[in-house]
Amino acid sequence: MAKHTSIPGKILKLKREKPKPEWKVSDSENAMDQLMDLFVKGSGKTLNKNANFDYLAYLFADIAGHPDGRKHFIEAQAYDNVIPLTKLIVFTEHESLVRRKGVASTIKNSLFDISSHQTLVSESSVNLLPYILLPLMGSEEYPEDESLSMPAEVQLLPPDKKREADSSIIATHLDSIVLLTTTREVRELLRELQVYPIVREVHLAVEDDDVRDICERIVNVLKRDEADPSKLDGPRVQELEDEDGVIDLV
């Protein structure tokens, strides 16, 4: 939708007349704010019985694939003083495959802004990590010494908890974790929060070569010796648009 490099900038700058107050859609004149409000408030056809706005998630993923768009999703907006990514992450376990897939890609693409990682994983800010981890988790049980250190949101999951069924979405969330290992501070946090056991279980449970390859990359990073100066840098990242408009890791 927004693969051409000029499109995201145009959308981010576009102004439109505010929707009528009685529509209860948006109070902003910025088109991007209005699209976000449609996506969030229109989930489940609550605004329009003929539209759920799920495919906007793909547009957001494309926009986040460009630096200006990425900046929009990770910085609080003047409209409501809210970081837009916080509005999207709650849909990582939504019933709609389209919505889950687009949101996962938007998260991943936003994480190419390495300087924002600590803010994005902070519990007092975006608190992103639980929303990445929950789709990766099923009903497996963890030893107490592992589970008690995990984020509170992923502890004590119900026995009927289902792991994300789409392996491409699992791979996207795992790519997001790889990106989060770029800085030592966040790597240490991932170790402290017992991300490794969760990735270990994904590797065991999901029979997909791409998923298992990414799991192994994460394990290699989290289990390595940080004291080795030659291994202090995280993965290199490069902005590459693939056929789906999603930024890839290299």
Residue 233 pLDDT > 70: no
The angle at the Cα of 190, spanning 105 to 161, to the nearest 5 degrees, equals: 65
List domains and CATH numbers for the chain.
6-249 (1.25.10.10)
Alpha carbons 19 and 141: distance in angstroms, whole number: 48
Strands 237-241, 247-249: parallel, antiparallel or unpaired by DSSP?
antiparallel
Consecutive H or E run containing 239: strand 237-241
Give burial (CB, 10 Å; 0-12/13-18/19+) of 227. Answer: exposed
- Predicted confidence band of residue 27 (pLDDT cuts 50, 70, 90): confident
Higher pLDDT, 239 or 161: 161
Structure token pair of residue 49: 């019985």
Contacts of 105 (CB under 8 A, 6+ apart): 57, 58, 61, 64, 172, 244, 246
Distance of CA 168 to the CA centre of its chain: 13
Segment 124-152, tens digit of pLDDT: 999 999 999 999 999 999 999 999 999 99
Segment 167-184, tens digit of pLDDT: 999 999 999 999 999 999
Alpha carbons 124 and 238: distance in angstroms, whole number: 29
Segment 96-134, tens digit of pLDDT: 999 999 999 999 999 999 999 999 999 999 999 999 999
- Predicted confidence band of residue 249 (pLDDT cuts 50, 70, 90): very low
Structure token pair of residue 84: 């837009």
